[in-house]
Amino acid sequence: MAARKLSSVLSRSLSLSPALRSSSFLRSLASGSSVSGNSCTSRYSTSAAVEELITPPIEVTYTKNLINGHFVDAASGKTFPTYDPRSGEVLAHVAEGDAEDIDRAVAAARKAFDEGPWPKMTAYERSRVLLRFADLVEKHNDEISALESWNNGKPFEQAAKAEVPMLARLFRYYAGWADKIHGLTVPADGNYHVQTLHEPIGVAGQIIPWNFPLLMFAWKVGPALACGNTIVLKTAEQTPLTALYVGRLLLEAGLPPGVLNIVSGFGPTAGAALASHMDVDKLAFTGSTNTGKIVLELAARSNLKPVTLELGGKSPFIVCEDADIDHAVELAHFALFFNQGQCCCAGSRTFVHESVYDEFTEKAKARALNRIVGDPFKKGVEQGPQIDSEQFKKILKYIKSGVESNATLECGGERFGSKGYFIQPTVFSNVQDDMLIAQEEIFGPVQTILKFKEIDEVIRRANASKYGLAAGVFTKNIDTANTLTRALRAGTVWVNCFDVFDAAIPFGGYKMSGIGREKGIYSLSNYLQVKAVVTALKKPAWL
């Protein structure tokens, strides 16, 4: 499958592959045919679309921890509920891993690395396992997508057309890297032969977030496995189900027992135990900046394991005076509202030039009012619920802060419907830099529109943030684009596009948005040790 940018994949005009079009399962979900009562998709102005919910025709099968190739109960016997964010009702009870389960998982990963076949297997054989897994992901696209949407609340069409296919694409990408990881022959002064070896780092601990469970699984597990490492992965407690499901598919693809271990549990118990474990060789974390600080501290206090962090953001989206306003409005809308606004790189500070500010604001308001909110299993729905009650309340608190700080509430600002965690698409204008809604990561469907006059001014204001994950630039002028892309202190700058996540494009942040890069060739270095081997030569024929 050719790499596709996410923004194109999510276009309403994109058709499903022939295999997916033929699936009665997919058709029934997308049409809403299994719901009783009024199944028509509604827009922002009515809450009918969240009162009658479709029940996906799938069963939640994998709810236990995956340790050493087996699905097992937590050592304590405890479980915790995971919820359907559309209703707040319990979806399943999942094994609650804690420090003892992490110990067992790390022991299995250590044995699999020190004694098992995975790091000793030829790189070509490792590549074949990852390719078989990608095939299985495509075969089970329907079930994986439904489970992702059910546990997370993201639109089913988004999961089925973009995210699950991208999961397969990312694993094919890293399968291609498996047999292309090699060192160098290095010239040195004197009679010495010098070479570098790139070796797997060992047991990798990985902690993934709830907003993109499958994609974050791929970003971390793919390169770690390609390099020959073993893994202990902790899922987000809100969304444990799909990682367990695809973990089973990796075993089916031929991954040896103990190479990938998955523990579901909470941050202060399972997460802290993994971050501070003395037998974990490397740690990767995606989540909030505050939690990232804790993870880094625990890693340092234990065995000083190297850490990569992909953290928060407050990304500027800059609309210049020469912009095609209709196009800019749509792109800025996508940059913020995609995935219910629950995206670390969301274009959450929309800077608009003063000459087009009023027109942009009116059209941004109209687009938000026209956004289709409802049951994510209904065809055409653009926005589902927020992940849980905690995030729901946090977003409403930020909206209240915006109103109290005298930003202009153009639309939205309230819950949507009477159950679940739906929030109206919300737009604020006349936002000032010192307002909380312009400084802190809201992680919800709240667009803040700020006015600027000069390029130097907007550069200074855009960079005046503790974050530096991403930025967007919308202009027809190549000189303006070049100036902004070099001046903005962010790990990714999208020009006349946004949220393009090709497997080969590195992703990561400046400043307090993180350490290191994921995806692409750069992610491989996270999971490799470089060893210099120096051999003395006697009577060499040449140097």
Q: What is the set of active-site residues?
A: 310
End-to-end CA distance of the chain: 46
Q: How far apart are CA 324 and CA 56, in angstroms?
A: 41
| CB-based contacts of 350, cutoff 8 Å, min separation 6 | 317, 319, 332, 335, 336, 364, 447, 448, 449, 450
Q: How far apart are CA 382 and CA 429, in angstroms?
A: 23
From the number of C-beta atoms within 10 Å of its C-beta (0-12, 13-18, 19+), residue 182 rates as: exposed
Which of 328, 316, 292 has its CA nearest to residue 450?
Answer: 316
66 DSSP β-pair partners = 71, 262
From the number of C-beta atoms within 10 Å of its C-beta (0-12, 13-18, 19+), residue 18 rates as: exposed
Q: Is 511 left (phi over 0), alpha (psi -120 to 50) or beta?
A: left
Neighbouring C-beta atoms of residue 481, cutoff 10 Å: 17
Task: Identify whether the C-beta of residue 360 lies closer than 8 Å to the C-beta of residue 34.
Answer: no
Q: Which residue has the tokens 């089913």?
A: 156
Cα-flanking dihedrals φ and ψ of residue 263, to 5°? -120, 125
Sign of the torsion angle spanned by Cα atoms 412, 415, 418, 421: positive
Q: How far apart are CA 203 and CA 197, in angstroms?
A: 18
Q: How far apart are CA 533 and CA 511, in angstroms?
A: 35
Q: Is 483 left (phi over 0), alpha (psi -120 to 50) or beta?
A: alpha
Q: How far apart are CA 290 and CA 394, in angstroms?
A: 15
